[in-house]
Structure 1
Amino acid sequence: MDRLFANGTVNAAQSGEGPPLFLFHSLLSDRASFDAIVPQLETSFRTIVPELPGFGLSRAVEGGLEAVADRMAEAVRDAAGGASAIVLGNGYGGFVALLMAIRHPDIAGKLILADCGAAFSEPGREAFRNMAKASREKGLEAITDVAMRRLFAPDFQAQHPELMQGRREAFLRTDPTVFGAACDALAGLDLRAELGLVKVPVLVLVGEHDEATPPPMSHELAAGLPRAELKVIPDCAHVPQLQSPRQFLDAMKEFLR
């Protein structure tokens, strides 16, 4: 069931009963990337899967990634209703969740940061600058193959044509203006000096073969956080919850207790 939060600006699917658990999607995907794990999670949690600002029915926000993080903090407070929340972010959603926790230290009791980091290498920054430029000049269609490669290895794509068709269609529904602004924000992001502000327990997850946010980024992130543990998910890339839902859920099981 969809509901609106943060004064009607953030649209989210909500299901299940229990402590609130938020799932923030990646830039190259959408909230459907969590569909395979929600049925399991909603047996123990009130699972809330928002569309991030500018995606789906959620209203875009001006002011860069900081404004996105502030909007999502408002949505989390609204939806959690005073209860201690767990926030899981994948990729772009992980960066939003991390920045939200830095700017709003009381927003969550636990964080799960999957396939993100605190800062990109220069080649990583250049990749975002190139995607932003190409999308503005030629449209999202021009970078769809690049986007899918950042999500999944070629072998996985070849073995799962129906899933890939759905992922391509989801990516092409992205607002190009929102996509370009997010790429620009990620190209300039560096949160390493602020990681010490995150005092809550954090589980850092990363797919072994993630090319979009390579494992060294997650190692650096976990090392910089005061209360973090790191788990590498074998044989997975940038969206392990789609590629291997059971492994992803197993990796979180102890942390969610």
Structure 2
Amino acid sequence: MDRLLANGTVNAAQTGEGPPLFLFHSLLSDRASFDAIVPKLETSFRTIAPEMPGFGRSRAVEGGLAAVADRMAEAVQDAAGGAPSIVLGNGYGGFVALQMAIRHPGIADRLVLADCGAAFSEPGREAFRNMAKISREKGLEAITDVAMRRLFAPDFQAQHPELMRGRREAFLRTDPDVFCAACDALAGLDLRAELAGVQVPVLVMVGEHDEATPPPMSRELAAGLPRAELKIIPGCAHVPQLQSPQQFLGTLERFLR
């Protein structure tokens, strides 16, 4: 069931009953990237999977990552109605969730930050600048292969052609202006000095073979957070919940007990 949150600006799918669990999707994907884990999660939680601002039917917002985080904080408060909440973000969704927790202390009781970090290395920043530049000049089609390689290892792509076809189609539905603005924001992001202010328990997860947000970023993130634990998901890349949903769920469930 879809519902509109934050004064009608954020569209979200909601299923299940229980404590609210929010699922923030990555930049190179959409909320369908959680489809493999929602059936299990909705047996214990009210799962709320928003389309991030500028994706799907959610209205875009200007003002960089901080403005996106503020919009999502409004959506979380709206949907949770004061109930203790858990926010899980993957990739871009993880960066938004982290920024949201920094700017809105108490917005969530627990955080799960999958395949993100507090700041990119210079090569990582350059990758975002290049993707934005090529997208502006030639369109998203010109970087689709690069985008898919950042999500999935080549052998996984070869073994799952139907899934990859769907992921490519989802990426090409992205608003190019929203994508480029997000790339610019991530290229300039550095939240390391603010991590100490996040006082809630945090599970930091990362795929062993993630090239988009490599494991050293997650190690740095976990080290900077006061109450974090780090779990590396073997054999996975940037979207472990799609690549190995049972591994992902097993790690998640231990944290959520």
Shorter-chain TM-score bucket reads over 0.9
Instruction: Give the Cα–Cα distance (whole angstroms) in 2 for the partners of residues 65 and 231 of structure 1.
Output: 26
Equivalent position of 1:144 in the other structure: 144
Secondary structure of 1:39's partner? helix
The one-letter code sitting in structure 1 at the alignment partner of 2:87 is: V
Map 1:25-104 onto structure 2 (within 5 A). 25-104=25-104
Equivalent position of 1:199 in the other structure: 199
Instruction: Give the Cα–Cα distance (whole angstroms) in 1 for the partners of residues 167 and 252 of structure 2.
Output: 24
Instruction: Give the Cα–Cα distance (whole angstroms) in 2 for the partners of residues 254 and 140 of structure 1.
Output: 38
The one-letter code sitting in structure 2 at the alignment partner of 1:100 is: M
- Cα deviation code 1:147-177 (max 9, x no counterpart): 0000001000000000000000000000000
Instruction: Give the Cα–Cα distance (whole angstroms) in 2 for the partners of residues 79 and 253 of structure 1.
Output: 22
Secondary structure of 1:57's partner? coil
Map 1:240-251 onto structure 2 (within 5 A). 240-251=240-251
Instruction: Give the Cα–Cα distance (whole angstroms) in 1 for the partners of residues 107 and 20 of structure 2.
Output: 12
Instruction: Give the Cα–Cα distance (whole angstroms) in 2 for the partners of residues 256 and 47 of structure 1.
Output: 14
Unaligned runs of 5+ in 1: none
The one-letter code sitting in structure 2 at the alignment partner of 1:75 is: A
Secondary structure of 1:93's partner? helix
The answer to whether the aligner puts 1:176 opposite 2:176 as a matched pair is yes
CA drift of 1:218 comes to: 0.1
Equivalent position of 1:128 in the other structure: 128
Secondary structure of 2:36's partner? coil
Instruction: Give the Cα–Cα distance (whole angstroms) in 1 for the partners of residues 197 and 6 of structure 2.
Output: 25
Unaligned runs of 5+ in 2: none
Q: What RMSD in Å do the two structures reach over aligned CA positions? A: 0.3
Instruction: Give the Cα–Cα distance (whole angstroms) in 2 for the partners of residues 84 and 98 of structure 1.
Output: 17
Instruction: Give the Cα–Cα distance (whole angstroms) in 1 for the partners of residues 129 and 105 of structure 2.
Output: 30
The one-letter code sitting in structure 1 at the alignment partner of 2:205 is: L
CA drift of 1:226 comes to: 0.1
Instruction: Give the Cα–Cα distance (whole angstroms) in 2 for the partners of residues 165 and 109 of structure 1.
Output: 37
Stretches (4+) displaced over 3 A: none
The one-letter code sitting in structure 2 at the alignment partner of 1:48 is: I
Secondary structure of 2:236's partner? coil
CA drift of 1:254 comes to: 1.4
The one-letter code sitting in structure 2 at the alignment partner of 1:255 is: F
- Cα deviation code 1:24-72 (max 9, x no counterpart): 0000000000000000000000000000000000000011100000000
Identity of aligned residues (%): 88
Instruction: Give the Cα–Cα distance (whole angstroms) in 2 for the partners of residues 252 and 167 of structure 1.
Output: 23
Map 1:200-215 onto structure 2 (within 5 A). 200-215=200-215
CA drift of 1:98 comes to: 0.1
The one-letter code sitting in structure 1 at the alignment partner of 2:16 is: G
Number of equivalences: 257
Secondary structure of 2:23's partner? strand
CA drift of 1:106 comes to: 1.1
Secondary structure of 1:230's partner? strand
Equivalent position of 1:157 in the other structure: 157
The one-letter code sitting in structure 2 at the alignment partner of 1:159 is: Q
Secondary structure of 1:148's partner? helix
> What TM-score do the two structures reach when normalised by structure 1?
1.00
Instruction: Give the Cα–Cα distance (whole angstroms) in 2 for the partners of residues 99 and 204 of structure 1.
Output: 15
> What TM-score do the two structures reach when normalised by structure 2?
1.00
Instruction: Give the Cα–Cα distance (whole angstroms) in 2 for the partners of residues 13 and 81 of structure 1.
Output: 16
CA drift of 1:124 comes to: 0.1
Instruction: Give the Cα–Cα distance (whole angstroms) in 2 for the partners of residues 40 and 154 of structure 1.
Output: 28
Map 1:97-112 onto structure 2 (within 5 A). 97-112=97-112
